[in-house]
């Protein structure tokens, strides 16, 4: 037995049990597998969720699609047109970071976390030191319906999109109530600030209430020169 909890009355409060992997491995002979089983005594309905958290000892060379396919690219920022993706920048350079999501079906209550490379900082459009023309080009969203003969509201109604953005020192977070089937893109601007070579953690996207539906990008290395 790995854990036991008791509920005396009907309740919406959850009981949480954290188990180290060493204990789970020790519960069965080496090299064997056993099912994880939940049982209950008494009346009522038992609802449960199991999540596995782990860290790997190698870079993710490829992305993972478990319901979401997501790709990330870094490009030198230019006000007009576009530049090819790059992984080498100079301190002070502006970089457009673009996340591309490919959905095989509609997804709801979507959360995205994109960790910033250690040598980057997100550009805040509301800072007094941020130029107005740069702020105007900050966050961009596109989807497959862009360019069709319909207004912005109709496009949003049919396709959905990210309706909340949070900027932190080490990451960007996006939230969407609904994303339609197809391709969606979101991009933002960051600034290269610190010289060095930095490995990027993968960007991750998931359905908040069904986190087993998720996806992540591959990792890469960003170099910032003085």
107 Cβ contact partners less than 8 Å away, ≥ 6 residues apart: 67, 68, 178, 179, 207, 213
Residue 22 near residue 179, CB atoms below 8 Å? no
pLDDT at 58 over 80: no
pLDDT, tens digit (0-9, with 9 covering 90-100), for 83-133: 899 999 999 999 999 999 999 999 999 999 999 999 999 998 644 444 445
Looking from the CA of 134 toward its CB, the CA atoms found within 13 Å total 19
pLDDT, tens digit (0-9, with 9 covering 90-100), for 176-199: 999 999 999 999 999 999 999 999
Q: How confident is the model over 17-40, as a mean pLDDT?
A: 84
Residue of 223, 215, 217, 216 lying closest to 199 (CA atoms): 223
What three-state secondary structure class fits 20?
A: coil
Q: How confident is the model over 124-149, as a mean pLDDT?
A: 60
Tokens of 188: 């933002």
| Cα gap 100→185, rounded to integer Å | 4
Question: Quick one: pLDDT at residue 8?
Answer: 82
| Cα gap 84→80, rounded to integer Å | 13
In the chain, what are the domains? 64-225 (2.60.40.690)
């Amino acid at each position: 037995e790995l854990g036991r909890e008791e509920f005396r009355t009907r309740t919406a409060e959850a009981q949480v049990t954290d188990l180290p992997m060493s204990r789970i491995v020790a519960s069965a002979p080496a090299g064997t597998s056993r099912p994880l089983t939940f049982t209950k005594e008494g009346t009522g309905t038992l609802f449960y969720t199991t999540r596995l958290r782990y860290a790997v000892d190698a870079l993710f060379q490829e992305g993972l699609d478990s319901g979401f396919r997501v790709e990330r690219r870094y490009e030198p920022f230019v006000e007009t047109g576009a530049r090819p993706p790059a992984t080498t920048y100079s301190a002070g350079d502006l970089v457009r970071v673009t996340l591309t999501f490919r959905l095989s079906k509609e997804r709801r209550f979507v959360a995205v976390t994109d960790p910033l490379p250690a040598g980057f900082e997100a550009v805040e459009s509301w800072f007094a030191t941020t130029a107005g023309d740069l702020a105007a080009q900050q966050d961009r969203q596109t989807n497959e319906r862009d360019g069709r003969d319909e207004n912005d509201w109709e496009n949003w109604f049919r396709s959905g999109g990210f309706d909340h953005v949070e900027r932190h020192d080490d990451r960007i977070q996006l939230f969407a109530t609904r994303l339609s089937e197809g391709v969606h893109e979101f991009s933002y601007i960051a600034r290269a600030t610190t010289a060095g070579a930095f490995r990027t953690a993968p960007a991750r996207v998931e359905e908040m209430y069904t986190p087993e539906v998720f996806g992540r990008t591959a990792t890469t290395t960003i170099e910032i020169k003085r």
